[in-house]
Amino acid sequence: MFQGKDIEELVKLLEAREASLFHACQFADFQSYLTIGGIPSRARLEADQQAFTAFETDESDRHKGVWDKVFLNLPDFGTTFAKGGAGVPNHWC
């Protein structure tokens, strides 16, 4: 999990590369992220007894050994959707 100075360094790197970072989540997950103070892995959420939304891939992610990883999206799914792809854009408020 990125925290403190590591977040600042990551932000600087993404800005230097003019890259966007997207992480969509459900409200319960977002509340847990605020409690923990970052975007944690699902293993961290589970260990800290924080609420998180179940995914169809949870069992597979555990089996593949990626339960302790954080998945983020660099592409904008709105662009994928606009070009006829299967990506579904997030709703921006």
Q: pLDDT tens digits, residue range 23-59?
A: 778 899 999 999 998 889 999 999 999 999 998 999 9
Closest alpha carbon to 50 in 61, 36, 39, 37: 36
Looking at residue 7, its pLDDT comes to 80
3-state helix, strand, coil split of the chain in percent (to 5) is 45, 0, 55
Report if residue 87 sits inside a domain.
Answer: no
Residue 91 has pLDDT above 60, yes or no: no
Report if residue 90 sits inside a domain.
Answer: no
Report if residue 89 sits inside a domain.
Answer: no
Measured between alpha carbons, how far is 71 from 53 in angstroms, rounded to an integer?
Answer: 14
Report if residue 12 sits inside a domain.
Answer: yes
| Residue range(s) defining the domain that contains residue 25 | 5-82
Structure tokens that stand for 49 in this block: 């007894």
Report if residue 92 sits inside a domain.
Answer: no
Report if residue 21 sits inside a domain.
Answer: yes
Structure tokens that stand for 28 in this block: 């319960």
Report if residue 91 sits inside a domain.
Answer: no
**Model confidence band, residue 93 (pLDDT cutoffs 50, 70, 90):** very low
Looking at residue 81, its pLDDT comes to 78
Count of domains in the chain? 1
